[in-house]
C-alpha cells in the first residue's frame, strides 16, 4: 500500500475549517507547518466539513532550504542550486522523510501502522489540535511505537448536535493503559491489550459553545508514553466555507 502525506494549505488567517483537499482525505497524513523551533504558524486549520480532526501532524516549514529546479523562481533563490521557501509544502516533505525512515526500519509495517506511529509519537507543542494536529513529528520516538490503535490516536466525535456521543476503537496490537482528566469524557477501561475494544463516551453541557474542543488522552505502553486526542465540533456554532 501507499501512504500519502499532504500539505494542508496556506490560508494565512486564524480561521477554522480551511484545510484543503486532498489533505482532508481520511487516510492521508495531513501536514501543517511550524517554525524550526516548533511554534505554530497558524496556516490552514481544521476541522474537515464532516467534523474530523485535521491536520494530523506538523513539521518545520519556515525558511526551509531545498533543491532548486533549473530556471525556477519559487521562494527566494539562495543560489543556482538551492531555494528558500516557507509553507505547508515545505513541511510535508519532512514527514515524508520520517515515514521513509520508519518503513526502512519496519519493512512489514502497513500504511496504517506507519500513520499510527507518526501520530501517537508526535510531540505536543501546546497548540490546539485543529491547528497543528497531534503535534510535531518525532522520528526517534516513532521508531519505537509498540501499539496500534484502529483510530490512529484520533477519537473523532465529529459534528455533535446533541450533548452526548460515543466512539469505539480497537487496540489492534500491544498492551497499554489510558489516562485522561476531563469532566466531559470517560473511557470504558483504563487498560487494554490486543483485541480489546475501548469505548469513549462524551457528555457536554447544553450551554457549551465551542466550536471546537479537544481532550488529551495519555497512552502508556512498554516502550513509552504517547498522546491521543478526543475531538468534537459543536455543529450549531460552526460555518464551513
Beta-strand pair 64-67/82-85: antiparallel
Is 132 in a helix, a strand, or coil?
helix
More confident residue, 71 or 227: 227
Distance in angstroms (rounded) separating the CA atoms of residues 159 and 227: 22
Tell me if residue 46 falls in helix, strand or coil: coil
Q: Which positions ≥6 away from 235 have C-beta within 8 Å? A: 51, 159, 160, 161
Bridge-based pairing state of the strands 185-187 and 148-149: unpaired
Looking at the predicted structure, is the pLDDT value of residue 79 above 70? yes
Residue 55 DSSP class: -
Residue 210 has pLDDT above 70, yes or no: yes
Position 117 scores a pLDDT of: 98
**Per-residue pLDDT, 42:** 67
**CB of 48 closer than 8 Å to CB of 24:** yes
Burial of 91 (0-12, 13-18, 19+ CB in 10 A): buried
Name the average pLDDT for the chain. Answer: 92
Instruction: Please state the φ and ψ torsions of residue 133, each to the nearest 5 degrees.
Output: 70, -155
Residues 92-122: pLDDT tens digits? 999 999 999 999 999 999 999 999 999 999 9
Rounded mean pLDDT, 80-92 = 94
> Is it the case that residue 65 has pLDDT exceeding 70?
yes
Its pTM stands at 0.93
Q: Is 26 exposed, middle or buried (0-12, 13-18, 19+ CB in 10 A)?
A: exposed
Backbone region of residue 195 per phi and psi (left: phi > 0; alpha: psi in -120 to 50; beta: other values): left
Amino acid at each position: 500500500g501507499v501512504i500519502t502525506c499532504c500539505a494542508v494549505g496556506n490560508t494565512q488567517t486564524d480561521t477554522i475549517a480551511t484545510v484543503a483537499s486532498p489533505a482532508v482525505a481520511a487516510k492521508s497524513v495531513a501536514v501543517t507547518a511550524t517554525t524550526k523551533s516548533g511554534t505554530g504558524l497558524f496556516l490552514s486549520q481544521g476541522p474537515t466539513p464532516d467534523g474530523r480532526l485535521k491536520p494530523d501532524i506538523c513539521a518545520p516549514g519556515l525558511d526551509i532550504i531545498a533543491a532548486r529546479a533549473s530556471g525556477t523562481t519559487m521562494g527566494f533563490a539562495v543560489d543556482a542550486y538551492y531555494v528558500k521557501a516557507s509553507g505547508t509544502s515545505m513541511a510535508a516533505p519532512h514527514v515524508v522523510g520520517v515515514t521513509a525512515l520508519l518503513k526502512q526500519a519496519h519493512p512489514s509495517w502497513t500504511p496504517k501502522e506507519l500513520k499510527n506511529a507518526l501520530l501517537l509519537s508526535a510531540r505536543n507543542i501546546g497548540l490546539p489540535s485543529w491547528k497543528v494536529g497531534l503535534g510535531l513529528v518525532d522520528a526517534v520516538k516513532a521508531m519505537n511505537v509498540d501499539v496500534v490503535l484502529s483510530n490512529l490516536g484520533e477519537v473523532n466525535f465529529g459534528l455533535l448536535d446533541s450533548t452526548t456521543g460515543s466512539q469505539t476503537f480497537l487496540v489492534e496490537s500491544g498492551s497499554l493503559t489510558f489516562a485522561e482528566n476531563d469532566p466531559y469524557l470517560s473511557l470504558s477501561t483504563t487498560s487494554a491489550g490486543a483485541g480489546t475494544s475501548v469505548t469513549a463516551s462524551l457528555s457536554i453541557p447544553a450551554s457549551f459553545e465551542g466550536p471546537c474542543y479537544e481532550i488529551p488522552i495519555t497512552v502508556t505502553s512498554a516502550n513509552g508514553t504517547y498522546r491521543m486526542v478526543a475531538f468534537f465540533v459543536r455543529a450549531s456554532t460552526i460555518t464551513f466555507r
